[in-house]
Structure formats: C-alpha cells, structure tokens
Amino acid sequence: MDNQLMQDFNSLYFSKKQISRRIFEKEELEKIWETIQGGRLKLSKKNNCDFKPITDYWFNNTEGIDSNIEFVNEANNLGVFNYISSKIKDNLNKSAESLEISQLLALNGIETSEKKINGIRNIINNSNIIDEDFLCNLYNIIEMEDLESDKINKVNSKNIYSISRIVEDGHNIENLLLLINKYEEKSILIKATVIHLYVIINNPFIKHNAIISELLTYKYLLMNGYEVIKYCSISPLIKEKLKKYNTAIENSLSSNGDITYFIKFYLDILRNSIEVLNMELNYKFGKKILKELIEKNDVKLEERCMKFINSVLTSKNNVVTIDEYKNKLNVSYETARSDLNYLVTLGFFRIAKSGKRYEYYKNDISTIVDNFEE
C-alpha cells in the first residue's frame, strides 16, 4: 500500500469501516488495518496508559484532540465574564443548565417538570463528590415524579432506591467510582469523555444510562474547575449529530479498545458548545461589554469605528474588506484602511491577505476581551 495513503488514513484517524470504503480487496484491507491499528496501539502505550483496572481502553492524542483541549482550556478562563454582572451570569448559568437538563430528559423520553429539573440542579451543584449516595439521589430524582422538595437530598433515608436496586445485575458500581475518583489521567477533559463512554458502553444502571452518562460528565467537569460548562448546552448538539455520536461509540467498540474515536467526537461537541456560547455573548451582551471594556482601558475610538464594531458583532458575516468599510461609513479608502488597521492593533480583527487585497476577520467578544487584558 502507498505510504502516503497510509499516512493520510492515520492522520484522519479513519476507522476500519471508513478504510473499507476506500480499499477494494478484503485481504488487502485486513493487512492495512492490522498495520494501522498495531501502530496506533504501540504509539498509545508509549504516550498514554491504559485505563486499568477499569477496562482495557486506550487512545491516542491526535492533532484535533490536542487542539480542542487547548481551546476548551483557554475558554475556561474567559475574561469576558468579568464584564457581565453577577446577576446576568447567574441567569445565564441557570438558563443554560436548566435547558440542558430539560432537553436531556426529553430526549430520553422522561417527562420534565420544574421540580425535577431543580432537583437535579441541586444535586449536581450541592454535592462535593461523586459517590454511591450521589448516584442514588440522581437516579431517584430522574425516576420519581412526585418527590417532595424537602426530601430531595434525603431519598436514601427512605430507602426508595438503594445502590443495589439501581444497578444492573452483574455490574460492580465500584469500577465506575474508581474511574471517576481514583484513576489519574493527565487530561481532565479526556477522562470526562471516558466516564461518559464507560456508562454508555457498560449500561451499569437498570435505566437512564444515557441521562446519567451526560450528567456525570457534566458534574465531573464542574468538580474539576471547568466553570465554562455551566453556560453551555451540549445535549442539543449531540442530538443534531446523533448519527456521528453513535458511529463514534460503534467505532470505539469495534477497534480493540481504541476509544480515540469517541474522545475526538465529544471534544468536538464541547468546543462547538463553547463557540455557540461565544455567539450568544456577542449578540446579547457584545455592545455592553465593548462599551465597558473601552471605557475601562481609556481607549480613544472615533464614533464611526465604534458604530462599525457594534454592527459587525451582531452580523453573521465574519469578514470585512476595506471597500466594505469605506462604502458603509462613506469615508475615503485611506481612512478606511487606517481605521481597520488600528482596530487590528487593538485586537478587534485579524488581518489576512487574499490575492491583492486584505481581509479583516472579526474576533469574538471573548477574544477581544482577552486581547485587551493582555
């Protein structure tokens, strides 16, 4: 097989099924797959430990995985929230979290109520650890319709559903708790995806595994300092890409323990959810944040520049040219060029040459704030 083609298959991290659609002969496919998977396993053992004693999962840090981890880690320190009032932040957080729980329940055929949503929120936000009591409380809130609010965190005292009654026969819940609380992995984000996948693959609970997998991932990220997750909605994005979600799980199940496919998918979803959050911040709070940012840093801007930036923030168009600026504000070409270049130095735009002309790509509000703070 051509070495360049093999490298391309590897760099794109094709599954066996994807490669089979590109190789005509079955015998050659098996040889190629054996070579590719052997190389991946060898690389993984060199760079990453297996997830033992939980199971024989292994993975590789692809370029896309590393890029997404870097993106999410940077987004977790969003300076933009310093320019939003605590009241607005609380409302944004509550709205996103409630929507996430509501949609997650609805997607899995569970009737939602404000009491149930608030019960799940309380358990997630008021528990410091994930243990058997946490799992029981979470399961009971999902399962029960008419649970009194003052007994939400005391369901075990009523012995409604003990841990032995919510776990499928033959499953040891200690393995899941070991994975969450004991196993050490360099990246919190990778471990979070493994927790999600572990529940989906093994179905340790009698019911509600899809819901619990998502909520455990969410809670684990919060426990480990990923506050940005509070403001993101992930379930709708998974629903939009349900086929890819299921394919990522299928590839992970059929690749001798290689769960890189699912890690790639889930980190893409996390990144997308943050990008959606950035868009929401642009549209809802962009003008207010910019006004405060410019005043705080005592930046002098012509009124036309400020007017233009505000219009661009709420526009779906990400690219601006000198001619567009010139025509929109009725100024000379040199004034337009000078204004845009000044806005580049302030961090509002990134500049790139396209043929003989320059194009200016707008930054999102979070990047603009970070540019000013640096």
Whether the per-residue pLDDT at 345 is higher than 90: the answer is yes
For residue 54, is it within any domain?
Answer: no
| Structural domain includes residue 53 | no
Domain identity same for 90 and 158 = yes
Do the domain assignments include residue 311?
Answer: yes
Residues 6+ positions from 103 with CB-CB distance below 8 Å: 233, 235, 236, 239
Q: Both 309 and 256 in a single domain?
A: no
Domain containing 141 equals: 63-279
Share of the chain above pLDDT 90, in %: 43
Among 79-83, 283-287, 340-344, whose mean pLDDT is lowest?
79-83
More confident residue, 91 or 63: 63
Residues 193 and 329 in one domain: no
pLDDT at 170 over 60: yes
The pLDDT tens digits for 7-51 are 888 888 999 899 998 888 989 899 989 989 999 988 888 777 666
Category of 86 on φ-ψ map: left (φ > 0), alpha (ψ -120 to 50) or beta: alpha
172 with 226, same domain: the answer is yes
Q: Are residues 100 and 213 in the same domain?
A: yes
Residues 15 and 42 in one domain: yes
More confident residue, 144 or 292: 292
CATH code at 316?
1.10.10.10
| Structural domain contains residue 302 | yes
What total number of domains does the chain contain?
Answer: 3
Average pLDDT of the chain, as a whole number: 87
Q: With bands split at pLDDT 50, 70 and 90, how would you rate the model's confidence at 159? A: very low
| Domain stop point among 249, 279, 309 | 279
Give, to the nearest 10 degrees, the angle between helix 209-223 and helix 132-143: 130
- The percent of residues in the chain predicted with pLDDT above 70, rounded, is 93
- Is the four-CA dihedral 108, 115, 230, 194 of positive or negative sign? negative
- Whether 284 is in a domain gets the answer no
Q: Among residues 217, 249, 279, which one ends one of the domains?
A: 279
Same domain assignment for residues 32 and 161: no
Residues 6+ positions from 110 with CB-CB distance below 8 Å: 142, 208, 211
Same domain, 167 and 191: yes
Mean of pLDDT values over 368-372: 88
Tell me what pLDDT residue 156 has: 44
CATH of the domain at 217: 1.10.3290.10
Same domain, 70 and 38: no
- Distance, first Cα to last Cα, the chain: 50
Among 42-46, 71-75, 112-116, 158-162, name the one with the lowest average pLDDT: 158-162
Distance CA 178, CA 184 (A): 10
Residue 292, domain member (yes or no): no
For residue 160, name the pLDDT band (cuts at 50, 70, 90): low
């012995």: which residue's tokens?
159
Task: Verify that 39 and 148 share a domain, yes or no.
Answer: no
Residue 136 maps to a domain? yes
151 or 140: which leads in pLDDT: 140
Closest by Cα among 156, 149, 114 to 132: 156
Examine the domain organization and report whether 233 and 364 are in the same domain. no
Sheet strands side by side (includes 319-321): 319-321, 357-362, 349-354
Which pTM value belongs to this model?
Answer: 0.84
Residue 91 has a pLDDT of 83
Does any domain span residue 328? yes
pLDDT tens digit string along 288-330?
888 888 888 888 889 999 989 988 888 878 899 999 999 999 9
Same domain, residue pair 213 and 349: no
pLDDT at 157: 45
Average pLDDT rounded to a whole number, residues 163-169: 86
Which distant-in-sequence residues (6+ apart) come within 8 Å of 311 by Cβ?
328
